Amino acid sequence: MDGRRRRRSGAVLSATTLTRQEERAAAKRRRARRGALIAAASTIAFFGIVIALVVTAPGWDEVKTTFLDWHDFKKALPDLLKGFWLDIKLFVIVECCVLVLALVLALIRSTRTPALFPLRLVSTVFTDVMRGLPVVLLVYTIGFGVPALSLHGLPTDPLVLGGIALALAYSGYVAEVFRSGISSVHPSQMAGALALGLTRAQAMRHVILPQAIRRVIPPLLNDFIALQKDVALVSFLGPIEAFRVAQIEASSNFIFTPIVGAGLLYLCVTIPMTRWVDHLQNKERRVRGVAEVSA
Amino acid sequence: MSEARVPVLEVSGVTKAYGDRQVLRGIDLAVAEHEAIALIGASGSGKSTLLRCIDLLEEIDDGDVFLDGEVITDPSVSPPGVRKRLGMVFQAFNLFPHMSVLDNVVLAPTRAHGAAKAEAADRARELLARFGLEGREHDYPDRLSGGQQQRVAIVRALATRPRALLLDEITSALDPELVGEVLSLVSDLKDGGMTMLIATHEMGFAREVADEVCFLHAGEIVERGSADKMFGEPEHPETQRFLRRLLDAGRL
C-alpha cells in the first residue's frame, strides 16, 4: 500500500512518468500495432508470390484470353443468365420437395410404432441407397431410364426427371440431417411433453421438431448449397442451364470465359445464402436477448 | 363413510426391473384426496422410477396403479388420457427452451385439453401472477433463475387442473438459496388441498408438508409413518442409518 502511494505521488510530481495503467495500455497498443503490421506484410507477400507465379507462367497469356476475356464474358452473359435462371427455378422447386420428403423420411425413422415397421424399413433402405449412389448416376438412370419404360403417365420432360433424381438423392442426405437433429433433443423434453398429456405426435410437432430444426439449420444449409451446385447435373439430360451454356461455348469456340462466368453466377447465389442464414440465427439470438432487457 | 372413500392414487404390488436390476419390488401405496405423501430414500432407491411409472413414462412389470379407482396401468389404457389427469414436475424442470414462459404453460391446456387460446392464456397469467412470476410471461426459460424456472414448471403442471401432482426431487437441481422459494410454493399448494406424491431429499420440507413419509430402500418401502414418527423414532435399521448419514452430512 505504501509503495502504491509513493508511485502515485511520484506520477504527480513528474508529468513524464507514466502510471502503471498507462504503461500497460501503451504496451497493448504497441503489440496490436505490431500484429497488424505482420498480418498485412505476410498477406501482401503471400498474394504477391501467388500472383507473380501465375502471371509469369508460360501459358498465362493463353489462359487470359481463353478464361478471362472481358469481351467474351459480356457476349456470353445474357445466355448464361437465362440458363442460370433455369438453375434457380429448378433449385427452389427441388429444395421444397427435398425438405418435405426428407422430413417425412426422418419422422418415419424416428417412430417406434410396430405398425410402421415396413415403412421404416423402406425409408432406411431408401436413405442408404440414395446416399450411397453418385448423384450423377441417379440423374442418368432416372433421366434416361424412366422414359425408356414408355409407361403412360410418367413424366418424360428431362427437366422434371432431372429434378426428381436430385430430389430423391438429396432427400437421403437431408433426412439424415433431420434425424440427427431429432435425436439430439434430450429425452427429458419428450418426457416433459408427454407428462403434460400430449400425444407423441403432438410432442414431436410442438416440442421436439421446432428445437431439432433450429439445431440443424447450418448443416441443412450446407446441403442446400451443394444442391444448388448439383443442379448443373441436369445438363447431362439436355436442358440448357448455365453450365450447359458455358460448355457449348467452350466446346465450339474453345472459349472458357463463360465457364468462369457461370462460376461467378453460382457464387452470387451461394455466398449471400450463407450470410442470410447466419443473419437469421443471429436475429434469433438477439430476440431472446431483448426479451431479457425489457423484462 | 370415510372408509369407502377411494384414494386418488393407489399403487398396488408394483414391480419394475431394468434388465437384471430390480428397481421396484412390490410397492404398495395410497394417496387420499388432499393428502401429501413424501418418498424419501437414498439415490437409486426407486423414488423417481416409482413416480415415472405412475405417470406411465415407464412401463411396470407387475402390479397395478389406480387413479380415482380406475386401473391406469392396463395395456388397454391410453397413456395421454391418464397423463392429462396428472401433473408431473421434474428435477431438471424440462421446460421447453424454444417457447416463452406463457407458451410453455398454455401448450397443454390448448393442445391436450382443447381449451380456447385466450381462455388458457388468461388462466396461465393468473397462475403465473399468483406464484410471483408476473411480467415474466414473454421471457424464455433460459432467462430465468433456476427457482423461477421450477416455479414455471409447477405452474405448467397446474394449468391443466390435475387430480394429483407428482413432484420428482424438484429442488435437487437448484442452488441452495433458491430452494426455499420453490418449497414454500409447494406448501401453499398443500394448504390449498392439492393431492401430492413427493420424492424429495429435503427432510425439513417432508416433515412440514407430508401427511405420511415413506422410506424407500432398494425398491421397497421398508418403513412408513407420520413425519414425527419417521424422523423422531425410526424403527427400521435402514431408516436409522439413512437419517444418521443425513445428520452427519449436516442435512437434517
What pLDDT, in 10s, does the model give residues A147-194?
888 888 888 888 899 999 999 999 999 999 999 999 999 999 999 999
- In this prediction, residue B2 carries a pLDDT of 47
Structural domain for B65, as ranges:
2-248
> Percent of chain B having pLDDT more than 70?
98
Instruction: Report, as an integer, the average pLDDT of B213-242.
Output: 94
CA distance A20 to B69: 78
Q: Of chain A residues 6-35, which have a CB less than 8 A from chain B?
A: none
pLDDT at residue A111 in the model: 83
pLDDT one-digit tens code per residue, A213-251: 988 888 888 888 889 888 888 888 878 788 888 888 788
Instruction: Provide the pLDDT for residue A238.
Output: 79
- Number of domains chain B contains: 1
Q: Which whole number is the average pLDDT over B52-73? A: 95
Q: Which of residues 76-105 of A touch B (CB under 8 A)?
A: none
The partner residues of B199 in beta bridges, in order of sequence, read B39, B168
pLDDT of residue B119: 94
The topology (CATH level 3) of A79-285 is MetI-like fold (1.10.3720)
Residue B251 has pLDDT above 80, yes or no: no
On whether any CB of chain A is under 8 Å from the CB of B84, the answer is yes
The one-character DSSP state at B235 is -
pTM of the prediction? 0.81
Contacts of A167 (CB under 8 A, 6+ apart): A94, A97, A98, A101
Question: Is the CB of B248 inside 8 Å of chain A's CB atoms?
Answer: no
Q: Is the pLDDT of residue B112 over 90?
A: yes
More confident call, A261 vs B69? B69
From the list B1, B32, B30, the residue with the least C-alpha distance to B13 is B30
Residue of A nearest to B85 (CA): A197
- pLDDT at position B192: 94
Judge whether B83 is closer than 8 Å to chain A, CB to CB.
yes
What pLDDT is attached to residue B57? 95
CATH number of residue B188's parent domain: 3.40.50.300
CB-nearest partner of A211 from B83, B98, B156: B98
Reported ipTM: the value is 0.93
Confidence at residue A294, expressed as pLDDT on a 0 to 100 scale: 40
Residue found by looking up cell 409447477 in the block = B154
Cβ within 8 Å of residue A159, ≥6 positions away = A86, A90, A234, A237, A239
Mean pLDDT of chain B: 93
* Phi-psi category of residue B57: left, alpha or beta, with phi > 0 → left and psi -120 to 50 → alpha: alpha
Average the pLDDT over B136-147 and give the result: 94
How far, CA to CA in Å, does A227 sit from each of A223, B62, B127? 6, 53, 49
Q: Do B90 and A191 touch (CB under 8 A)?
A: yes
**Can you give the pLDDT at residue A69?**
83
Q: Is A112 on the interface with B (CB under 8 A)?
A: no
B35 pLDDT band, cuts 50/70/90, is very high
Query: What is the pLDDT, as a whole number, of residue B117?
Result: 94
Mean pLDDT of B79-101: 95
Give the pLDDT of residue A251.
Answer: 80
Look up cell 421471457; give the residue: B139
Record: contact A197-B112, CB cut-off 8 A? yes
Do residues B50 and B24 lie in contact, with contact meaning Cβ atoms separated by under 8 Å? yes
Is-contact B127 B105, C-beta < 8 A?
yes
Answer yes or no: are the C-beta atoms of B8 and B33 closer than 8 Å.
yes
Contact of B191 with chain A, judged by CB distance below 8 Å, is answered with: no
Interface check B108 vs A, CB under 8 A:
yes
The C-alpha atoms of residue A67 and residue A258 are separated, in whole angstroms, by: 8
How high is the pLDDT of residue A237?
85
pLDDT at position A287: 60
Give pLDDT, residue A10: 47
Low-confidence ranges of chain A (pLDDT < 50): 1-3, 9-11, 290-295
C-beta neighbour count of B2 within 10 angstroms: 5
CA–CA separation, A158 and A161 (whole Å): 5
Pairing of strands B220-225, B212-217: antiparallel
CB contacts of B156 in chain A (<8 Å) are 196
In a 3-state reduction of DSSP, which class is residue B90?
Answer: coil
